[in-house]
């Protein structure tokens, strides 16, 4: 009978770091939405865009110009904040994962001291780039939706209540996207850093752990957890016909236990 492998407890996502990241994104989004709402209400006072029009200018042309100015302003604001937010999030996550993994190994009889290796630095830089890109995409996507709503309001003669109702829906969508970004990146970062540290120690095997969270869990991930699927961290686990890692798929909150060689 094959002996049960000795494992180290899983490093799970730090929900406090995730919440702080989400709060930073939500604050920026809230400021942007308030700015747009103020502008829209001023422009649509009494159901009519109050704009100083040139003799040959159309309302839609002027509105579009003003919207572009607003878009440029908020895209720049998010760009200015994105690297700072990303670096803080990635740095805190790396420190947390290192400490958690060190403690888990220590409890199993392994004493290690992690250093800022080339592999870790590379993983962190890649994570920062990805997070900066995601943060910068938020205002672009939101303002594109706003432009469509406002232009339809101009061309179809919609009243202010229609415009503000539609903008409120877009606000909800944008906030939910920020929640997804923070959760998804927290899962990915925890998995990536843990695997990098495992590789440094020559610990190449891990056991899939299903999170038990989520209203619609992936059946294949549930099965992997139930079967205690063991995989090579250098290639990932074969699930649904592809090689993946816990926390890699969107909204995946799974983790894994490190297998010790003896």
Tell me: the pLDDT tens digits for 104-124? Answer: 999 999 999 999 899 899 999
Mean pLDDT of 218-231: 94
Predicted confidence at residue 55, as pLDDT, reads: 44
Query: To the nearest whole percent, how much of the chain has pLDDT over 90?
Result: 71
- Considering only CA atoms, which of 24, 23, 31 is closest in space to residue 74? 31
Written as one string, the DSSP assignment of 170-224 is HHHHHHHHHHHHHHHHHHHHHHHHHHHHHHHHT--EEEEE----SSS--HHHHHH
């Amino acid at each position: 009978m094959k002996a049960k492998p000795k494992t180290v407890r899983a490093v799970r996502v730090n929900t406090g770091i995730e919440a702080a990241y989400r709060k930073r994104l939500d604050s920026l989004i809230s400021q942007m939405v308030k700015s747009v709402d103020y502008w829209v209400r001023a422009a649509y006072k009494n159901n009519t865009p109050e704009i100083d029009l040139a003799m040959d200018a159309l309302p839609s042309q002027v509105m579009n110009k003003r919207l572009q100015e607003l878009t440029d302003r908020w895209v720049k604001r998010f760009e200015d904040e994105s690297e700072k937010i990303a670096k803080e999030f990635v740095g805190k996550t790396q420190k947390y994962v290192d400490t958690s993994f060190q403690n888990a190994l220590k409890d199993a009889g392994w004493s290690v001291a992690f250093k800022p290796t080339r592999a870790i630095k590379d993983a962190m830089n890649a994570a920062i780039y990805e997070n900066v890109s995601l943060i910068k995409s938020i205002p672009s996507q939101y303002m594109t939706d706003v432009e469509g709503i406002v232009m339809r309001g101009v061309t179809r003669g919609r009243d202010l209540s229609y415009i503000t109702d539609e903008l409120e829906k877009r606000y909800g969508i944008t906030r939910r996207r920020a929640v997804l970004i923070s959760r998804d990146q927290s899962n990915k970062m925890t998995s990536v850093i843990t695997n990098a540290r495992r590789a440094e120690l020559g610990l190449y095997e891990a056991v899939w752990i299903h999170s038990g969270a989520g209203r619609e869990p992936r059946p294949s991930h549930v099965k992997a957890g139930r079967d205690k699927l063991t995989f090579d961290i250098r290639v990932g686990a074969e699930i649904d016909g592809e090689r993946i890692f816990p926390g890699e798929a969107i909204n995946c909150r799974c983790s894994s236990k490190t297998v010790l060689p003896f």
